[in-house]
Structure 1
């Protein structure tokens, strides 16, 4: 998923590459035509720690092995012609059944989602331009989306058992099938799980009946928004962005509202959502903060909800507004910063009169906002 990274908090260690000898790592061009015996591997211990990546990487190797069967290969090629395909639907028509079902259950558990959450795994072509080669019958490689946003190589698997490293910047000519989490589906489930978990601790913003007696309330509307451009690996897909809006509730306790922003797919692109981001009927002082996050596939929603709740419940209302951004950021597990940051940007102290272009504190994005009166029906 394309994301904007916070350089001052997130540091990425370079992956060390070995080829079994002292020679330089092959380029994407040479590897895309490499035979199945041309195997290159990362040095031991260089993979970033991610339960979800460990699962999808293992499944990528199993899918690659299944592609040795021409029937399976043709079925997957057909299913991915117009986009991503549900792996659990494919498993009913191929030999991938046990591996796909086991991997799906493991991913649900790793993300803190219920076991009956359905299928959250998909397979897609890394780039639409690879469809012609796949249609001609060229045997694809299979890779999982790496956890690290700045890998020095993408590990891919050959149907005959070889493992190759691909350049993360230049897409190979050989088609690559990508095993990925259906983040759009998992995010919807996960955010509802977070809302429920936070509500159980009394920290989900609720719009009081007082707003109705006033005839409505003020909100902040996002008229336009853009995240900064960066250079992501070709294997990444669209982002899945959400925002944690925090402030003090009318009872004086810290409270949050979680807002999904499903349109915000790619950085460097301006979107015009006209979305209501902050509903001030729920916040004392008519002030609130926004912390923008991305689900890159390995977010554990239960852990995140528990961490935010634990951090906010320690804050007391002292009679004046205190920004909650730092408390929310400090609640995010340390590993998310060091291995794979999910933080995008933050906006401090939005009010009922906030308007114009507001740049994020991390300088990774901006929003054009305006006050909006929400009339009660």
Structure 2
């Protein structure tokens, strides 16, 4: 999707009025409080860190032992091998320099994403395409680039073993082997979702721990039979539609922010990891519970689908979302919260790599079948699902 179309979609979404559904009257959208300014340079900082590591790794591959170790490691782990342990056990200044650079870079990436320094290695390396394996095994000298976040880039910056910069065509798969340095987004996503939930809970808009589901009766049971459990909404299939990603883009990992009002009348946001949702144009069948309705006061909730493609700062996201949602009070009827969540996103998240992917308004407990997203960039099929207590 072009940037102009994306911006038009955002304008259309944020212009929708907040309605008090069932109340028969419009409720004025609250004036958002000023969200803490997210570091504008987060994306560029992460990219700069990766680029420096790519340059260091490329120079290190002049060492035959390290070059062979990387070739073997990426063959055994096509999805990516951790960089920091790569030089472990090898002697020489080259290996020590690489180990030092990647250890420092892991800490800097974690800080840029708002995560703790105890996550361990975050940076990894993989071969850009399996078709390059034959040339690599035959002894072709590889280049090293980063799995950049800008899918609209025309050229990709790569380095050779002499430290020279090589510009690669972003639209054409190189014939020369290329290693890509990127982030282990699965590890970052798991840590980020945990941080996001903790930070939202600390600000009073999410539970500090999972809320115990309330006991209720399943509608299909006889009136005299009371079954302990709760109703959920289950995703049976989901797809994100977008342009085909270029060769230098790694797989994305996504998560959802489910928002509504809790039983106490306070705004509630639940973050739901969706790490399987990696590629555009692919239908996934997760059978995943998206909403636990016992945690919500009304029969409606909103969903915002987001993407961690490497640069997401989870701490900044939690601070920004909380600052806006805390200004919204329960009016005695359901109020859509998608607009407020979108308004909280830092401006940088609307450019190049759109961390915001899709949104669904007024998801109901009884919703079933295919639901198209408001942006027209994705759909999901859902069904009510009764979770019985053991």
Q: TM-score, normalised by structure 1?
A: 0.86
For the residue of structure 1 that corresponds to 2:7, the secondary structure is: coil
Other-structure match for 1:222: 235
User: 1:207-228 deviations in whole A, cap 9, x for unaligned?
Assistant: 6556125522221111111111
Aligned to 2:84: 88
Offset of residue 305 of structure 1: 0.8
SS of aligned partner of 2:252: coil
Which of 258, 270, 273 lines up with 1:260 in the alignment?
A: 273
Match of 1:115, SS?
coil
Matches within 5 A, 1:154-233: 154-205=156-207, 209=212, 211-212=214-215, 214=217, 215-233=228-246
CA distance in 2, matches of 1:48, 1:312: 23
1:48–1:148 Cα contact (<8 Å) kept: no
Question: Structure 1 residue 53 and structure 2 residue 55: aligned?
Answer: no
- What is the RMSD of the two structures over their aligned residues, measured on CA atoms? 2.1
Matched, 1:79 2:73: yes
How many residue pairs match? The answer is: 340
| Counterpart for residue 347 of structure 1 | 360
CA shift, 1:10, in A, is 8.5
Whether 1:123 aligns to 2:136 is no
CA contact (8 A) 1:10 1:338 kept: no
Closer, same or farther: CA 263–119 of 1 in aligned 2, 3 Å: same
| CA-to-aligned-CA distance 1:105-126 (integer Å, 9 cap, x gap) | 1111111111111110101000
Residue in structure 1 matched with residue 321 of structure 2 by the alignment: 308
CA distance, structure 1, for counterparts of residue 288 and residue 5 of structure 2: 28
Partner Cα distance (2:87, 2:266) in 1 = 48
Deviation at 1:151, TM superposition (A): 0.4
Q: Which moved more, 1:211-220 or 1:111-120?
A: 211-220
Aligned to 1:376: 389
Q: Distance in 2 between matches of 1:268 and 1:191?
A: 25
Query: 2: CA distance between counterparts of 1:304 and 1:269?
Result: 27
In the TM superposition, residue 338 of structure 1 has moved relative to its aligned partner by: 2.6
Alignment partner of 1:250 out of 251, 259, 263: 263
Distance (whole Å) between structure 1 residues aligned to residue 212 and residue 157 of structure 2: 55
- Per-residue CA deviation, residues 43-73 of structure 1 (Å, 9 max, x unaligned), is xxxx995110010001101111111111111
Q: 5+ unaligned residues in a row in structure 1: which ranges?
A: 12-46
Residues in 2 aligned to 1:97 and 1:210: alpha-carbon distance in whole angstroms: 48
Please say if residues 183 and 295 of structure 1, whose CA atoms lie closer than 8 Å, have aligned partners that are also in contact. Answer: yes
Q: Which moved more, 1:113-122 or 1:228-237?
A: 228-237
Deviations 1:228-260 (A, max 9, x none): 141211011212011000001111111011111
CA distance in 2, matches of 1:132, 1:147: 27
* Contact 2:213 2:295 (8 Å CA) reproduced: no
Alignment match, 2:111: 109
Kept in 2: contact 1:80–1:123 (CA 8 A): yes
Do the aligned partners of residues 89 and 209 (structure 1) sit closer, same or farther apart at CA in structure 2, a change above 3 Å counting?
closer
Q: Tell me the equivalent position of 1:240.
A: 253
Q: Distance in 2 between matches of 1:231 and 1:237?
A: 12
Which segment is superposed worse, 174-183 or 138-147? Answer: 138-147
Please give the secondary structure, in 1, of the residue aligned with 2:387.
strand
8 Å CA contact retained: 1:223, 1:368: yes
SS at 2:290's partner residue? Answer: strand
3-state SS, counterpart of residue 62 of structure 1: helix
Superposition TM-score, scaled by structure 2 size = 0.83
Listed as ranges, the gaps of 5+ residues in structure 2 are: 10-40, 218-227
The aligned residue for residue 35 of structure 1 is: none
Counterparts of 1:248 and 1:49 in 2: how far apart (Å)?
32
CA contact (8 A) 2:253 2:308 kept: yes
Give the secondary-structure state (helix, strand or coil) at the position aligned to 1:211: coil
Distance 1:204 1:49 in 2: 27
Cα separation, 2, equivalents of 1:131 and 1:281: 51
Task: Measure how far apart 1:271 and its partner are.
Answer: 1.1
Map of 1:25 onto structure 2 = none
